[in-house]
Amino acid sequence: MFNPSSPVTGQAVTGLTSPTFTLAADTPVSLYERQWYVSALGGTQTGVAAHSADRPFTLRTKRPSVIKTLVAKAMQVSGLTQYISIPVNSYDILVNTKGQVDSSGLTYGPIRMRLTIDCAAGIPSTANGIAQVRAAASLLLGSATNQVDGLVNNVVAGTN
């Protein structure tokens, strides 16, 4: 279960030195989600605002409403078993901010950053599959953590 401990220590990014985000439980949108809002900021976070009614700053996780399972729909082709239409379960982590203010004081927005993990049904039920899920998550989140400033620069500059 995704359950971040508060405060969350963020990664250093240009303008944010030793950032921390204090989270408080929030009302989720559905039964299949968990949500927190950023109630306070720590460290140096130039230009960043914590959650407010006119500028939400939330972290949300979502799981499928119905977990799909691997159904034994297989056919024999040249002596090989092939599965037909393997179902996929999608899990999301979403950071959502709204009501951003530009340099002229005009309000616009939102900013949404989403991480989606698609996992074919049946994979988490085997020891090898569990190891592969852990390795993929480790690589994904480790590379994102190591390159957080580069990811932000890609968004700001529109380059790779």
Question: What are the residue ranges spanned by the domains of the chain?
Answer: 8-157
Cα angle, residue 150 at apex, residues 152 and 58 outer, rounded to 5°:
35
Fold (topology level) of 8-157: Porin (2.40.160)
Whole-number percent of the chain with pLDDT over 70: 87
pLDDT digit string, tens, across residues 74-87: 555 566 666 567 78
Looking at residue 75, what is its pLDDT? 56
Looking at residue 82, what is its pLDDT? 63
Rounded CA gap, 129 and 54, in Å? 43
Looking at residue 32, what is its pLDDT? 93
| Location of structure tokens 């993929």 | 136
Averaged confidence pLDDT in the chain: 84
pLDDT digit string, tens, across residues 2-53: 888 899 999 888 888 899 999 999 998 899 999 999 999 999 998 888 998 8
Rounded CA gap, 101 and 91, in Å? 31
Q: Tokens standing for 35? A: 């949500």
Rounded CA gap, 110 and 40, in Å? 20
pLDDT at 92 over 90: yes
pLDDT at 71 over 80: no
Rounded CA gap, 33 and 26, in Å? 11
pLDDT at 140 over 60: yes
